């Protein structure tokens, strides 16, 4: 496109105009990039400081927790005078001193000439007093020593209170500092946003109303063409590059006028045939069940068993919902839908799917289920049942009237959490290697025309991914195929 535009401008001598627009756009976006870069640098700096403050808060919180534990064993020792409490108190005091020494920079940050010296002195006084008190408790003492004991206990309490007080003060200051940094970050965000809006307006003014009016004219014209209107380009004074695009559209329109009608008709027929085949393939089971339930209900209308009537109506409603969901799946490949996970008995869920397909499974095809009867999977009931319906139906088709299908499952621990592996295997002819990479693509099918739309495995893949799992296939020609489903963290036993 660039080469063509240059050739056009050389002929019409409008190259300076093109370059002028280019310079304006370059200048405008360069200004915006510089502003964004500056905002990013400032924000990064603030976040770095917040990270440092958070580390300080963690250290101070550790200091506070150690102090509280220290005081807890201090009180226990005062009450029971047990040697174990004294040892625990001494252990926490040692950890407290190590924390102070390891983070000298943090504690001295607040007031290196006063507060840090106090903490160190208080810790020393506390240790000395506890040691003396323990010595007194180990011996029989007289009234003078009893008085000394009371003085020591009071000194220990005061020292502990001061340590707790300083820890709380330090934590409060750091949290206040973090709040101030967050306020600053918010201010930077507001200012940078305002600056971006301002420069965007300036950029629009620099580019000029004429350029934007030309682009709007092009947008209107292309919208008409996109909607199938074969219109000639407007005869107005526009920019050189816009005028060249109009010329390209003119040539394109002339070509489209000759081919569009036949191409659109052919495409509509092909798409309609593909979708109808897919819908017929996927809706066969629920519609068959709806028809069967309706026939039974009609035969039992004179019966007084209302509970049985309700069950039949519920089955019809359930199968109607399945048909509705299948249509939605076919028509809305990329639309995200809400689904609800619940605990389901896997064996029962698979058995239900087999029952729904029983009329389509030849008598010479055996299906074997190998899994614990109480195995539970956390999944959306309708979707996970549709997975097994599609996979079993696919295996039945592969066996071609005679063969065997194995369905097995196991749960296991991986990285500290439970996971599930489900295998659906058949002893059919297998899948050709060149088809394995395309097996889950929409509308891909290795079957003959009219015998499948290729939507079944695509839907299975989509459902498993929506559950956070994966599905893969292992197949060898002449030996059969195995579909491997892996579901993470969805197992409760």
Residue 243 domain flag: no
pLDDT of residue 2: 35
DSSP assignment string, 210-255:
HHHHHHHHHHHHHHHHHTT---PPP-S---HHHHHHHHHHHHHHHH
Which residues 6+ apart lie within 8 Å of 314 measured at CB? none
pLDDT digits (tens, 9 = 90+) for 405-415: 999 998 888 77
* Whether the Cβ atoms of residue 397 and residue 445 lie closer than 8 Å to each other: no
Q: Is 450 left (phi over 0), alpha (psi -120 to 50) or beta?
A: left
The CA distances from residue 424 to 350, 405, 418, 471, in Å, are 11, 7, 20, 11
Taking Cα atoms as reference points, which of 456, 44, 96 lies closest to residue 280? 456
Out of 168-172, 229-233, 251-255, 477-481, least confident range: 229-233
- Of 150, 181, 205, the residue at which a domain comes to its end is 205
pLDDT of residue 274: 38
* Whether the Cβ atoms of residue 110 and residue 73 lie closer than 8 Å to each other: no
Into how many domains does the chain fold? Answer: 2
Residue 237 domain flag: no
DSSP assignment string, 47-96:
HHHHHHHHHHHHHHHHHHHHHHHHHHHHHHHHHH--HHHHHHHHHHHHHH
Angle value at C-alpha 199, between 197 and 203, nearest 5 degrees: 115
Q: For residue 384, how many other CB atoms are within 10 A of its CB? A: 27
pLDDT of residue 181: 84
pLDDT of residue 11: 39
CATH number of the domain residue 62 falls in: 1.20.120.1730
- Of 143, 174, 205, the residue at which a domain comes to its end is 205
Rounded Cα gap, residues 247 and 188, in angstroms = 48
Rounded Cα gap, residues 143 and 151, in angstroms = 12
Tokens of residue 80, six digits: 């029971």
Residue 395 domain flag: yes
Q: Is 445 exposed, middle or buried (0-12, 13-18, 19+ CB in 10 A)?
A: buried
Q: Which residue range is the domain that position 70 belongs to?
A: 20-205
More confident residue, 186 or 458: 186
Residue 309 domain flag: no
pLDDT digits (tens, 9 = 90+) for 57-91: 888 889 889 999 999 999 999 888 899 999 999 99
Residue 109 domain flag: yes
pLDDT of residue 281: 55
Tokens of residue 258, six digits: 């000759």
Over residues 28-38, mean pLDDT: 82
Rounded Cα gap, residues 159 and 67, in angstroms = 10
Please list the residues that pair with 484 across neighbouring strands: 423, 472
Per-residue pLDDT at 315 exceeds 70: yes
Out of 161-170, 330-339, 483-492, least confident range: 330-339
Tokens of residue 404, six digits: 């065997």
Taking Cα atoms as reference points, which of 376, 384, 411, 380 lies closest to residue 492? 376
Q: Which residue has the tokens 């306020």?
A: 183
What distance lies between CA 176 and its chain's CA centroid?
Answer: 33
Per-residue pLDDT at 165 exceeds 70: yes
H helix and E strand count, the chain: 13, 7
Residue 459 domain flag: yes
Per DSSP, the three-state class of 322 is: helix
Average pLDDT of every residue of the chain: 76
pTM for the structure as a whole = 0.37
The CA distances from residue 442 to 238, 338, 445, 460, in Å, are 44, 21, 9, 11
Angle value at C-alpha 113, between 112 and 114, nearest 5 degrees: 95
- Of 205, 232, 249, the residue at which a domain comes to its end is 205
Q: For residue 55, how many other CB atoms are within 10 A of its CB? A: 13
CATH number of the domain residue 381 falls in: 3.30.565.10
**173 and 27 together in one domain:** yes
Residue 251 domain flag: no
pLDDT of residue 406: 93
Which residues 6+ apart lie within 8 Å of 404 measured at CB? 365, 366, 367, 368, 426, 427
Per-residue pLDDT at 196 exceeds 70: yes
Per-residue pLDDT at 282 exceeds 60: no
pLDDT confidence tier of residue 16, bands split at 50, 70 and 90: very low
Residue 82 domain flag: yes
Rounded Cα gap, residues 163 and 118, in angstroms = 9
More confident residue, 371 or 143: 371
The CA distances from residue 37 to 34, 46, 192, 194, 198, in Å, are 5, 14, 11, 15, 16
Q: Which residue has the tokens 């897919």?
A: 278
């Amino acid at each position: 496109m660039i080469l063509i535009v240059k050739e056009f401008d050389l002929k019409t001598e409008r190259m300076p105009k093109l370059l002028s627009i280019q310079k304006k756009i370059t200048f405008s976006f360069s200004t915006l990039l510089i502003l964004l870069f500056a905002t990013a640098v400032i924000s990064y700096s603030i976040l770095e400081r917040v990270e440092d403050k958070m580390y300080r808060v963690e250290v101070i919180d550790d200091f506070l927790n150690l102090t509280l534990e220290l005081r807890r064993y201090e009180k226990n020792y005062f009450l029971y005078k047990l040697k174990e409490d004294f040892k625990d108190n001494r252990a926490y005091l040692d950890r407290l001193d190590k924390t102070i020494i390891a983070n000298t920079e943090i504690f001295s940050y607040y007031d290196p000439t006063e507060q840090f010296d106090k903490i160190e002195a208080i810790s020393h006084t506390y240790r000395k007093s506890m040691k003396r008190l323990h010595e007194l408790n180990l011996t029989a003492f007289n009234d003078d020593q009893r008085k000394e004991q009371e003085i020591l206990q009071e000194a220990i309490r005061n020292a502990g209170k001061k340590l707790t007080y300083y820890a709380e003060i330090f934590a409060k200051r750091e949290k206040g500092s973090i709040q101030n940094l967050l306020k600053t970050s918010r201010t930077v965000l507001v200012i940078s946003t305002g600056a971006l809006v301002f420069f965007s307006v300036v950029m629009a003014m620099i580019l000029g109303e004429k350029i934007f009016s030309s682009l709007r004219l092009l947008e209107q014209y292309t919208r008409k063409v996109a909607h199938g209107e074969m219109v000639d380009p407007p005869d107005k004074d526009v920019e050189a590059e816009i005028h060249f695009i109009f010329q390209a559209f003119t040539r394109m329109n002339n070509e489209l006028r000759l081919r569009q009608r036949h191409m659109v008709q052919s495409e509509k027929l092909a798409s309609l045939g593909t979708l109808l085949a897919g819908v017929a393939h996927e809706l066969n089971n629920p519609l068959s069940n709806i028809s069967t339930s309706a026939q039974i209900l009609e035969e039992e209308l004179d019966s007084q068993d209302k509970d049985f009537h309700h069950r039949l109506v519920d089955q019809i409603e359930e199968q109607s919902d399945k048909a509705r969901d299948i249509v939605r799946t076919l028509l809305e490949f990329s639309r995200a839908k809400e689904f609800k996970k619940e605990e389901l008995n896997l064996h029962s869920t698979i058995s239900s799917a087999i029952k729904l397909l029983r009329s389509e499974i030849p008598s010479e095809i055996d299906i074997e289920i190998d899994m614990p009867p109480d195995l539970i999977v956390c999944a959306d009931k309708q979707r996970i049942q549709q997975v097994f319906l599609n996979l079993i139906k696919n295996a039945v088709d592969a066996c071609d009237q005679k063969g065997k299908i194995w369905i097995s499952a196991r749960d296991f621990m991986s990285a500290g959490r439970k996971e599930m592996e489900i295998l659906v295997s058949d002893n059919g002819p297998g899948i050709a290697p060149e088809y394995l990479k395309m097996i889950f693509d929409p509308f891909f099918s290795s079957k003959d025309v009219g015998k499948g739309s290729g939507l079944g495995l695509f839907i299975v893949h989509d459902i498993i991914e929506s559950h956070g799992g994966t599905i893969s296939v292992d197949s060898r020609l002449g030996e059969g195929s195995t579909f491997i489903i892996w579901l993470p963290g969805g197992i409760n036993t």
